[in-house]
Structure 1
Amino acid sequence: MENATRGLYNEDLAPAKERTWGAFSIFNVWTSDVHSLWGYYLAASLFLLCGSFTNFLIAIGLSSLVIFAIMNLIGYAGVKTGVPYPVLARASFGVWGANLPALVRAVVACFWYGAQTAAASWAIVALLTRNEAILEFHQTSHMLGHSTLDVICFVVVWALQLLIIQNGMETVRKFQDWAGPAVWIAMLVLAIGLVIKAGGFSLDHGIAPELLLEKTRDAGVSGEPGSLSALMAVGATWITYFAALYLNFCDFSRYAPSKAVVRKGNLWGLPVNLILFSLVAGITTIAAYQVYGEVLLHPEQISAKFDSWFLALLAALTFAVATLGINVVANFVSPAFDISNAFPHKISFKGGGYITAVIALCLYPFAPWEGNAAVFVNAIGAIMGPLLGIIVVDYYLIAKGEIKVADLYREDGAYQFHGGWNIAALIATIIGGLCCSILPHLTDWFPSWWGTYGWFFGVAIGAVLYYPLSRMPVMRHPHAHG
């Protein structure tokens, strides 16, 4: 690109030249992103907490439509500009200020990368411990605060993921195009097999309320199952689960040839796929309860009870592959671009991904993702809220969808603002982050339900503060858009 500033450009960050991702590949971004052990657990929990099939369609169905709408907003920006998330963020945060939202997103991805790698390794551990000798080794040998078997499986799964991304985004596309459908087939086989074994199926799960609340506590949904407060919390949790990908979906949509392709891929991949996935996860959990007499919300717990070694192996490998899929899509691609954005002449897309993987490996002994899943998901989601509010308001309301793409790579262009930083975006981010991610965990100033809706408050605070601040003459660069 002509006249690009050295510290703002490399080939990986440049606007996409080849637009080879069709609707099927966009659809499989979502099959890869959702069909993981974490996603299954959350979907099964939320299904049961809806209380009835009608409530499920209302809570999961409506929230899936919201997810679809938000992804289209960001996806369209990716198609039009052809740039990845950290470069798009330069339009609203400044060419240097964009490193703030990019690195925040990268840090979040490092935590999720470790969490998903650990979940995939648990599926392998559940399979191996069917052998008595390995089970004894698992129970008696420990290192780094985990069982030695856990550590070995984590490192093996961690290393396998690095092989997937050796040839960049095209390898990612080919992997997800294979893995997404494979997981659906395995899930349907698991569900049908359990329903047959249960002698039929009823949507009335028959799980005692107190047992249900105990088993789904990590999902973070308060209130009696089926109550209005529970349904609202179900919808909010489901929407917040995608908080990180709202920001960087343009990392994928920029490879699509048109908005229509993105919209079609999103339609099948989000509301249709999300509703069906949650339904199958719920049916499988209910059937497993009828067969085994236990509430098993994690698929590796179900596969561990199979009589057949072959079926157990198939289930473990499938869910491990599924979890590798979400890790590559959600937690490798984004930080690879984000970290490359900070040092474009020193770190490539692949180099940024390796750094992410190493950080996740270093986090493993501390396992910050273990414990209450809801707190983890909502705290991470709340950090993302103000960033999304600012970017959407800036792109659609202030810039009216018109971005000077060449200036995104120039220090002295339209997005210079003040020394490369947009102070309005910085103020809105700091206040939004304080109110939604930091103060609720350090003080008792906020109501108990605040955390469940933290991402929504973050989006609102970021958007509402940014719009008037950005219109103030003192905040704007004379050549900025609008």
Structure 2
Amino acid sequence: MTHPDVRTASSVPSVPSTELHELNPHGLSASLYNSDLAPTTKAGRTWSSYSIFTLWANDVHSLGNYAFAIGLFALGLGGWQILVALGFGALLLFGLLNFSGFMGEKTGVPFPVMSRIAFGIRGAQIPALLRGGVAIAWFGIQTYLASVVLVVMVLAVAPGASALNDNLFLGLSTLGWICFVALWALQLVIVSYGMEMIRKYEAFAGPVILVTMGALAVWMFIQAGGSIAWSTGDTKTGVDMWVGILGGGALWVSIYATFVLNFCDFTRSAKSKGSIVRGNFWGIPLNMLLFGLIVVVLTGAQFKIDGTIIDSPSDVVEAIPNTFLLLAASAALLILTIAVNLMANFVAPIYALTNLFPKHLNFRRAGIISGVIGLLILPWNLYNSPAVITYFLGGLGALLGPLFGIIMADYWIMRRSKINIPDLYRANPEGTYYFTRGVNVRAIIALGVSAVAALILAFNPALHAVSAFAWFIGSGLGAIVYLAIAKRGQVHEDVSGEEIAVAPTH
């Protein structure tokens, strides 16, 4: 991989200005640029529509999403109503992800660099660290949840290992520690090979998950005698029903608040806008329809069999009477959880840390640090603490809507997608994104105002009726406040980043 030399005047003080210009002809700052943060060249991008599709083939079918969708039955929605709710959310997501994805395809930059457009070359640390902070905690939690599945598999194969599962050290048994560290290390190995290896893993995992979940649904349908219950009790009707459907769809979008924010981390390597649209179309509306059908079949079949409502597909897996099939299904759930974790919770903190210390960190080093932090926080203790999940992670998550609104309003409305890409890497006070000492104070103010509103919506019980729409309200308010106070009258240049771009090997 080759990339421009970015030695600056401060790093080579004895070099005359004429020679310095030859060393760094584009005036890039070493505190803003390295080969992982650089834009990707148009040629050689490897993410096709299938690559984008497999992202969603994995993420949509995550165990957390199944638990959420099954929970809609408990809220009084029937089978067809859940399908409508998921369809409504899928259409909204399809549009939002296309707009977000196009930003990455055009500029070729990761999310922390994209944030510099609205927040400034230094102010961008705020959205990057907020997104990375949420992700790194969930990386640890999802790894722990996967380790629980692995413990079940080990005990099924070797019942004698139960002796290792009877003690506790820092909240986990010896067997729990072994399983957690094994999965943690596996993910670090995959990430150490960069985004291309993640793409290959997602491409492998996607079909495995679709086949496994489809097979589970067929098996349960047969177990239930070829028919299912379309509701699990009294279902809503009239206005209450439509409020429930719209609320369910809105919550479905909120689940993807992280992805719509940093989707450019993946689409910066997309071959074209068409690849993004096609991948999103097959992966969001159509794949989510399949997901909804599986949810309805699994839940409706189990309810018909014994009148109980499952919590997630893992309940079905644990009830499989054949040990071999149980192990195969459990292995598929492990493959799924790792796939979701890599894309949703590992990439964001890697780029956030690289953006924080570009002189010292690259993709691999930042991945190792992210993984170590995910281990040191003892994530099973976080998961078992409702206060941490609700107030800390929930609070950080509530800020992602305002961030999305501000970034999208700045890029699409204020700048009309005209971006001076080299200026994203320049610390020159005359640069487009220098603002005030590298910080766009107006964006910070808009974030502060909309963040307060988002947190009130998230935690005030009196506003429970509209809490399902909190992400949309926070995002809309962030955009409105920013547009109201943003500086007007500027001329925006569209300058390509090809001259400073690197081949998208990561």
CA-CA distance at 1:87 after TM superposition:
0.7
In the alignment, is the contact (CA less than 8 A) between 2:228 and 2:304 conserved in 1?
no
In the alignment, is the contact (CA less than 8 A) between 1:50 and 1:234 conserved in 2?
no
CA deviation map 1:228-258 (0-9, x unaligned): 3322321121010000011110111111121
SS of the residue corresponding to residue 123 of structure 2 reads coil
CA deviation map 1:272-315 (0-9, x unaligned): 11121122123122223334553222222221111111111011
Q: How many angstroms apart in 2 are the aligned matches of 1:438 and 1:388?
A: 18
Q: Which amino acid aligns with 1:401?
A: S
Question: 370-379 or 101-110: which moved more?
Answer: 370-379
How many percent of aligned residue pairs carry the same amino acid?
Answer: 36
Q: How many angstroms apart in 2 are the aligned matches of 1:161 and 1:196?
A: 36
CA-CA distance at 1:112 after TM superposition:
1.5
In the alignment, is the contact (CA less than 8 A) between 1:126 and 1:301 conserved in 2?
no
CA deviation map 1:141-181 (0-9, x unaligned): 22212444333322221111112122111101111000011
Partner of 1:119: 145
Distance 1:192 1:231, change over 3 A: same
In the alignment, is the contact (CA less than 8 A) between 2:67 and 2:311 conserved in 1?
yes
In the alignment, is the contact (CA less than 8 A) between 1:113 and 1:327 conserved in 2?
yes
CA deviation map 1:89-129 (0-9, x unaligned): 11100011111100111001012112211221222223334
In the alignment, is the contact (CA less than 8 A) between 1:64 and 1:271 conserved in 2?
yes
For 2:225, which of 166, 189, 199 is the aligned residue? Answer: 199
CA deviation map 1:27-75 (0-9, x unaligned): 1111222222212222332366463343223211011100110000110
Q: How many angstroms apart in 2 are the aligned matches of 1:374 and 1:66?
A: 26
CA-CA distance at 1:433 after TM superposition:
1.9
CA deviation map 1:68-89 (0-9, x unaligned): 1000011011111111111111
In the alignment, is the contact (CA less than 8 A) between 1:72 and 1:262 conserved in 2?
yes
In the alignment, is the contact (CA less than 8 A) between 1:198 and 1:290 conserved in 2?
yes
Partner of 1:434: 452
Question: 330-339 or 125-134: which moved more?
Answer: 125-134
Distance 1:381 1:449, change over 3 A: farther
Distance 1:64 1:363, change over 3 A: same
CA-CA distance at 1:447 after TM superposition:
1.7
Distance 1:53 1:362, change over 3 A: same
Q: Which structure has the greater CA radius of gyration? A: 2
Q: Which amino acid aligns with 2:37?
A: L
Distance 1:69 1:196, change over 3 A: same
Partner of 2:94: 68
For 2:263, which of 217, 232, 249 is the aligned residue? Answer: 249
Partner of 1:234: 248
Q: Which amino acid aligns with 1:192?
A: V
Aligned residues: 463
SS of the residue corresponding to residue 208 of structure 2 reads helix
Distance 1:289 1:159, change over 3 A: farther
Q: How many angstroms apart in 1 are the aligned matches of 2:327 and 2:182?
A: 16
Q: How many angstroms apart in 1 are the aligned matches of 2:79 and 2:306?
A: 22
For 1:261, which of 275, 281, 290 is the aligned residue? Answer: 275
Q: How many angstroms apart in 1 are the aligned matches of 2:136 and 2:149?
A: 21
Q: How many angstroms apart in 1 are the aligned matches of 2:486 and 2:239?
A: 43
In the alignment, is the contact (CA less than 8 A) between 2:405 and 2:476 conserved in 1?
yes
SS of the residue corresponding to residue 238 of structure 1 reads helix
Structure 2: 5+ residue runs without aligned partners?
5-25, 495-506
CA deviation map 1:370-406 (0-9, x unaligned): 4669947854431201110001000011000110011
Matched, 1:395 2:421: no
Distance 1:449 1:148, change over 3 A: farther
Distance 1:445 1:197, change over 3 A: closer
